[in-house]
Copies of this chain bind each other. A is one copy, B any other.
Amino acid sequence: MIWATSPACTELETHVLDWLVEMMALPEKFKSTGTGGGVIQDSASSAALCAVITAREKATNYRSNARGCNGELVAYASAQAHSSIEKAIKIAGIGSQNLRLIPVDSEFAMQPEALEKQITRDREDGLLPFFVAATVGTTSSNAMDPLKEIGELSRKYNLWMHVDAAMSGTAAICPEFRHIHRGVELADSYCFNPHKWMFTNFDCDCFYVADRSALIRALSILPEYLRNKATESGAVIDYRDWQIPLGRRFRSLKLWFVIRHYGIEGLRHHIREHVSIAQEFTRWVEADEKFELAAPVPLNLICFRHKAGDAFNQELLDRLNRTGELYLTHTRLRDRFTLRMSVGQTNTTLAHVQKAWDKIRSVASEIESEGWDK
C-alpha cells in the first residue's frame, strides 16, 4: 500500500484527521500542516504499540531497531491504565517488569509525585526512563490522569508522553468538556476511538503524533517493489510507515460520512445527551440507599454497586445479563466488585437507561428476597 495505490484513500484520511484536531481543539502540532499528523489505526492497542516503538527508537537513537533491546528501558503508566499498554510493552521487547504501574489517588488518577519518585529511583539504578502513558478516562472507572503534571515530568526527564483517550476524548468536541485535555499540548502522541463514542463503525482509532518524522523513521521499510516516484518526491504520505501492517482500508470514508452527517452541532448534541443521561443515572444511584457509587462520574461511565457485597453484585450482574434485556460489565475498584454502565451508543435515550435502572432495582430486590444480602 503506497500513496499511489489509492491517492484518495490517503488524502481524505489526512484531511479528516486534521478536521478532528480543529473540532476537538487539540494542539496544532498534531496537524499534518505542522510537524505532526494523524493516522487511523485499528484500535488503541495498536496506537499504543506504535507510540512505544517510536519512543523506544527515539530514546535509543534508533539503536533498538538495529541491535535489539537490551533491558535498560523503563516505561510508566498508572495502575489503572488499560492492559493494552502492558501488551505493547511486552511486544516491543521492553518486558513487563520494566513497566512501572504508578499508584493512583482516591479518584483513581495517577499520582504525579509517585511518578517522579519512581523515575528518579530508576535513573539512580542506571535505567533509562523513556515512555509514560497517561489516560483520559480509564477503562475501569473513567479516571482522568493529570496530563499537565505528567507532561511536565516527561519534559523534565525526557520521556515520550502518550495520551490514551480512547473513549473520553470524543467529549472534547464540546467546549465545556475540554478540561479533560488540560496539558495535552505536552503530549508526544494521542489517540481516541470514534468507534467507541462517535457513532463510527469499528475499527477506527485516530492516532496523532507531534513529530511524524520520528514515527516514520521508527516504522518505515522500503524494499524495491514499494519504491515509486510519488514517495521519493517527499510530497505524499505513505501511511504504511505510520502503522504495523502494510496494507490499509479506506476507513476515513466512514469517519467523513459521520462528520458530514451529524455536523459538529449534531455530534455535540448527542455527546451532551449521553453525559446528561449518565449524570441522571448517577443521581438515581445516589438517591437509592441500597446502592452506592464506586467512583466519580466525570462523563458517561457510571461505576456503582449494591451495598450488599461482592457475591451479591456478581449474582446481580449474572442475572441481569441473562435476561438479554441489558448487558453490564464489571471491574474491581479498591478490590471491590463494581458494576459498569456506559452511555454512548447512537440511539440510546433516557427511556432506555430508565428501563435499565428499573430492571437493576427489580432484580436486586428479587435477590434480596432470597436472602443473598444477609
Residues on A lying within 8 angstroms of B by beta carbon are 42-46, 49, 53, 56, 64-71, 73, 82-84, 86-87, 90-98, 139-140, 195, 202-203, 219, 221-226, 229, 244-247, 249, 318, 329-332, 340
Contacts and interface: CB of A to CB of B under 8 A. Distances in A.
Given A70-B70, A92-B91, A140 B43 contact: no
B224 A140 contact: yes
A81 to B, nearest CB: 10
A344 to B, nearest CB: 15
B66 A224 contact: no
Contact of A43 (B43, B219, B247, B329): B247
Q: Enumerate the 5 nearest inter-chain pairs by beta-carbon distance, A residue then B residue, closest first.
A: A93-B93, A68-B95, A69-B93, A43-B245, A69-B69
Nearest to A241: B87
Nearest to A95: B68
Given A45-B246, A224-B331, A90 B69 contact: no
A92 B221 CA distance: 15
A245 B247 CA distance: 16
Number of copies: 2
Nearest to A193: B247
B97 A66 contact: yes
Contacts of A69: 68-71, 93, 95
B91 A244 contact: yes
A73 B70 CA distance: 11
Given A202-B247, A247-B42, A223 B83 contact: yes
B95 A65 contact: yes
A49 B82 CA distance: 22
A224 B332 CA distance: 6
Interface hub of A82, A221, A222 (most chain B Cβ within 10 A): A221
Contacts of A84: 221, 246
Contacts of A95: 64-69
Nearest to A226: B83
B43 A246 contact: yes
Given A69-B68, A97-B67, A244 B140 contact: no
Contacts of A223: 82-83, 139-140
Nearest to A50: B91
Nearest to A229: B318
A87 B247 contact: no
A65 to B, nearest CB: 5
Contacts of A68: 69-71, 73, 93-95, 97-98
A247 B91 CA distance: 17
A86 B223 CA distance: 10
Contacts of A83: 221-223, 226, 246
